[in-house]
Structure 1
Amino acid sequence: MPTGVALRAVRAQLFDAAERVLLRDGPSGLTSRAVTTEADCAKGVLHRHFDDFDAFLAEFVLDRVEKLDEKTIALKDIAGTGTVVENLTEALTAVFESVAVAIVPLVIFRDELRARLRREWPAGVPVLTQAAVMIAAYLETERGLGRLAADADVDTLAATLIGATHLLFADRTGAAPEPDAVRKTVTAVVGSGT
């Protein structure tokens, strides 16, 4: 007799289940059994769609990176409105309140996952690197609009913002930082006149 419920979009449901488990239980709690239990399906379902659990995790991480691409478009669309500091504060908070902060220790925790990700993502932790690309694209647009210094090094600013903000959000079990703490960090990096 089959167990669980029929899965229409198997990968999406498994990835969503993995995200919930990762956010709730951390990297050590993210097992194939935990994912399939959360998705309410038989364990074999995961193994029918992925070579092994590390292959599943690699695709999960890359899927979550793709979701940042949607945020990139939305962030670039608000360029020229509000203030640069407020736009960055909101964007960085959204990134780090998502699964991104939980993916970092997952990638660090699993050697085979890191090795698989290196095949497609040669540098950095994929979600953080993609978030830096997103922030740099936004800053480049703002620089083009004259709301950031013409000689601003947007790539360095973006990497600095990602690193500094990650430190604020790094404890997934603690309370999220106050918006003022994120705003203060952004202001320190890009300046208060933006």
Structure 2
Amino acid sequence: MRSICVFCGSSPGNRPEYVGLARDAGRLIAERQLTLIYGGGKVGLMGALADAALAAGGRVIGIIPQMLLEREVAHRGLTDLRIVSTLSERKFMMGVLSDAFLSLPGGIGTLDELFEAWSWAQLGLHKKPSGLLNFQGYYDHLVQFLDLTLSEGFQRPEHRAALQVGTEVGPLLDQLIAASQSTAPK
């Protein structure tokens, strides 16, 4: 695995632990010599993630739609900042450039990105692993709901299992790396 796309909030959240988590994730991604692919913002968890990866010597590619660039939220200090026309184009490009996906705490945009990348795998459009970081129980209710979709027959076991859920960023990153290696073309 060479790159990982991280979805996370453009807000910092209400607790300082969220920013700390984003910084830890950025640092650990750089330490594992992975290229960070993310939404290109300088604010919230996105900015903390990118700044930490850069500070640890990592390569960071941001992908931002023109409309957000114009609102001056783009991170101008990245290794590579790519400007696209739409949010859909942003998600597509992040998917093309990434070998795996990791979702940290965030809001509706983060959930949109998580579900789109995960559904692409379900549809067979890629075999890239997805991880959900359930930091301090943030996603407990979502995980319960996803399990309900399985028990109620709206999701197959193999599709539910395709989303790996962890509570610590380091071990979850390692799981995604291992999963990426097992699905890589031989």
Same structural fold, with TM-score higher than 0.5 when normalized by the shorter chain: no
> If the length of structure 1 is used for normalisation, what is the TM-score?
0.27
> If the length of structure 2 is used for normalisation, what is the TM-score?
0.28
Rg comparison, structure with higher value: 1
